[in-house]
Amino acid sequence: MIAADGLDKTFTLHLRGGVRLPVLRDAGITVRSGECVALAGPSGAGKSTLLRALYGNYRVDRGTILIRRDPATPNASMIDLARATAETIIALRRDALGYVSQFLRAMPRVASRDIVAETLLVRGIDPHEAHRRAAAMLERLGIAPRLHDLPPATFSGGEQQRVNLARSFVAPWPILLLDEPTASLDAANRDIVVDLINDAKAAGTAIVGILHDTASRDRIADRILSLAPVADQPAMPERANLESA
Amino acid sequence: MQGYNFAYLDEQTKRMIRRAILKAVAIPGHQVPFAGREMPLPYGWGTGGIQVTAAILGAEDVLKVIDQGADDTTNAVSIRSFFARTAGVRTTTSTAEASVIQTRHRIPERQLRGDQIIVYQVPIPEPLFRLEPSRAAARRMHAMSDYGPMQVKLYEDITRFGRVAVAYDHPVLVNCRYLMSPSPIPAFDNPKLHRMAALQLFGAGREKRIYAVPPYTDVVSLDFEDRPFEPVRAPARCALCGADDTYLDEMVTDDRGGRLFACSDTDHCAAILAGTA
Amino acid sequence: MTALLQARALTHRFGRTIALDDVSLTLSPHEILAIVGESGSGKSTLLNVLSGCLTPQSGDVMYHDGTTVRSLAERGERAVRTLQRARWGYVAQDPRSALRLDITAGGNIGERLMAGGARHYGHIRAVAARWLETVEIDPVRIDDLPRTFSGGMLQRLQIAATLVTDPELVFMDEPTGGLDVSVQARILDLIRSLVRSLGLAIVIVTHDIGVARLLADRLIVMRHGRIVEAGLTDQVLDDPHHPYTQLLVASVLPA
């Protein structure tokens, strides 16, 4: 579902006199349908950068990011996200490529149920049905019905993150990218999220996740991809990233 | 009359005005600028109408001049005797006998014929005048048939007053193309403009514009499908001749509130009384 | 998919000031494109050229009307005015300049309908009342003059008066400029929901990066009449490449 290869990414900070920060060098990752790969490594290793590059949020300087929309058609051509048009990426993000950020970016005035329902509405699901499923997902994540009509701006950090999670898990995705999905949650909610992730895997979703919470990580990850900061990497042309089962 | 050309204006000026008239007739409802001359009446007293009449008058014409329907008001009398002196043409108060009728603010009740010409005196030729103060912008609106704002004004009238409030000078669409001011004739007279057999010429002296409606042209008063244009008249009979289908003037008769209604068109009223209408 | 609008090599000067310097861009149907830049960047000039309100000194704007792709210059002033009247919309920064303050709210909303030939009073009123509800103005105010409306209400009224003809393309010039923050939020929210339900394509000029992030699919950053960076909104804002873009993003005050 994902086959990324040869990725280079260097940030040039013009506001700091053009200082160059190489974060990815010759990075790559492959993920199959129903598989979960966890990114591991020290801070600054490029985990977040790689994840964002897979979403098209960060632009890579070199390399290819091949994405397959539909696991059922293995012969269909894959799209190279690194070279795709904005239109293509937007279409992919609508129903093929999902991203769960670490924090909810709260839109002012929009009720939590509407935030969650939006994912379904843009796919053309009937509004009544969309709101029903949204409410159900919110409840599963422990957001009480009396909060459904409220905008999440006044919610606690944990509640906001659960709305954020609901927004992604309310719909099926071929590919899901998770950036610290359980960071602000208590143990009980972490379990619920682990279940949701495993359900998605069972449904065929390919998942890439960053989790510092090693307990949860071990319950969902099929493989761990360890990244090392570019400065520490040997300057050899072979792949600098290690894979371990 | 010594020292003056026939009908006061020199022949070159008449040709210039006739050229403007021809253009106006060719584009019904479109305002054509003309180089207005100084006339022996001030602006606001009919100089536009007088110049048009002067340009088209021939020795054999019979001229009638009315002011708000009456032949005997000061202005009507002045203008009629002006042409009698400078052109020596026959004048009349009879609509039926006239070949050229110059009018201020009314159309005669009697239906006009194809061999007659009616000349309207126009104060403000631009129907968009109040909606669009810029003349250049107004001209563009006419060019692009951008008449939405006028329809909006009618919408506002209906919203505020329950009906279209303009009692006179109700805007019309000529030949399905140009928005035109019919001059300050009462809304009651608007239907007469539609497919009139006579040629209709409009002259604005101060603004120096001429426009025209050729015979048998469609002239439709602006309205809404569900709020159609309705001509309005006082619900009364003429106190003199008894007519109930003419436009009436309301006249105060004493200082105790007494009033009576009489036909605004004096010739028509007299004809009814004489049995010759 | 054929582009809805395509600008090619637009260049325009005001006297010796370069307002647009070889600007090219495309807009797809249903897409929201934000043009971001500071004062003097040329963004308003660009919007005026794209919307047919200003003829560029060189370059052209191609528009796909569903049948053919032709430049605005080729279509001619009359055709462009007709497009502006019905199939396009323009939301100005100051609603007072775009609305008729001495015409009722209903009249303002109905104007574009009437300009397009609508002649049924009752029907026009019904449509106006519906739109007032959509933009969250109490329909009871349909006969009120905009003079009595607050700034936010005026802007919502302008939006209603613009969208009433169901345009496919809307140009917006700083639609939330000068409004209180809570009011801004309401209007942005309104625009977002209308975009989805009406399938509009929008070109929105703003100096507010937050507005761009919230509404736009793609972003163009302008400086001194040139496009310095363009791409997916979140990409340009999260991973800015051009020095000026990095400066803009770094200058945003955190909430």
Neighbour tally for B95: CB within 10 Å: 23
Q: Are B201 and B50 in contact, with CB atoms under 8 Å apart?
A: no
B176 is known as an active-site residue: no
**Are C232 and A56 within 8 A, CB to CB?**
yes
Q: Encode burial over A61-74: b for 16+ CB neighbours within 10 A, e otherwise.
A: eebbbbbbbebeee
* Chain A contact present for C185, CB below 8 A: yes
What confidence tens digit (pLDDT) does each residue in B188-200 have?
Answer: 999 999 999 999 9
Q: Is the predicted pLDDT of residue A70 greater than 80, yes or no?
A: no
> Do chains B and A have 3 or more beta-carbon pairs under 8 angstroms?
no
State residue B186's pLDDT score.
94
Shortest Cα–Cα distance, B150 to chain C (Å): 9
Question: How confident is the model at residue B142, as a pLDDT?
Answer: 96
Three-state secondary structure call for residue B8:
strand
- Cross-chain residue pair B148–C100, CB shorter than 8 Å: no
CA atoms of A22 and A237, how far apart (whole Å): 16
Tokens of A59: 């632009």
Global confidence as pTM = 0.85
Is 60 exceeded by the pLDDT of residue C249?
yes
C35 phi and psi angles, rounded to 5 deg: -110, 115
Alpha-carbon span A48 to B181, nearest angstrom: 71
What's the CATH fold of domain C5-87+167-249? Rossmann fold (3.40.50)
Q: Hey, which of A94-98, A155-159, B161-165, B264-268 has the most confident mean pLDDT?
A: B264-268
When pLDDT is cut at 50, 70 and 90, the band that residue A109 belongs to is: confident
Distance from the A202 Cα atom to the nearest Cα atom in chain C, whole angstroms: 31
B148 vs C111, C122, C123: nearest CB:
C111
pLDDT in tens, C44-53: 999 999 999 9
Which chain C residue has its CA at the smallest distance from B164's CA?
Answer: C121
**Does the beta carbon of C31 lie under 8 angstroms from any beta carbon of chain A?**
yes
Contact C120 B146 (CB under 8 A): no
Q: Is the dihedral of CA A45, A46, A51, A52 positive or negative?
A: positive
Say whether pLDDT at B232 is over 60: yes
Q: Which residue of C has its CA nearest to B151?
A: C114
Pairing of strands A175-179, A97-100: parallel
- Which segment, B107-116, C28-37, C146-155, is predicted with the most confidence on average? B107-116
Average of per-residue pLDDT across B76-105: 96
Calculate the CA C103 to chain-centre distance. 23
Distance between B145 CA and the closest CA of chain C, angstroms? 9
CB contact under 8 A, B156 and C122: no
What average pLDDT does this structure show over C62-79? 92
CB contact under 8 Å between C116 and B148, yes or no, is: yes
pLDDT at site C197? 82
Task: For chain A, say whether C178 makes contact (Cβ under 8 Å).
Answer: no
B230 vs B227: CA distance, rounded Å = 9
Number of CB pairs < 8 Å for B and C?
Answer: 54
d(CA C90, CA C49) in angstroms, rounded, equals: 12
Whether B269 is catalytic is yes
Whether residue A75 is predicted with pLDDT greater than 70 in this model: the reply is no
% of chain A surpassing 70 pLDDT = 91
**pLDDT surpasses 50 at B224:** yes
Q: Does B228 touch chain C if contact means CB atoms closer than 8 Å?
A: no
Instruction: Kindly state the average pLDDT of the residues C97-108.
Output: 94
Q: Could you tell me where in chain C the CATH 3.40.50.300 domains are found?
A: 5-87+167-249
Q: Give residue A153's pLDDT band: very low, low, confident or very high (50, 70, 90).
A: confident
Measuring CA to CA, which residue among C13, C16, C18, C24 is closest to residue C57?
C13
pLDDT given for residue B1 in this prediction: 64
The ipTM estimated for the assembled molecules is: 0.86
Position B251 pLDDT exceeds 50: yes
| Nearest CB neighbour to B155, from listed C81, C110, C112 | C110
Distance from CA of C217 to the nearest CA of A (A): 7
**Is C103 near chain A, with CB under 8 Å?**
no
User: Does the pLDDT value for residue C36 go beyond 90?
Assistant: yes
Higher-confidence position of B90 and C180: B90
Residues 6+ apart with CB under 8 A from B174: B28, B29, B180, B213, B217, B218, B219
For the beta carbon of residue B63, count every other beta carbon within 10 angstroms.
22
What is the pLDDT, as a whole number, of residue A241? 38
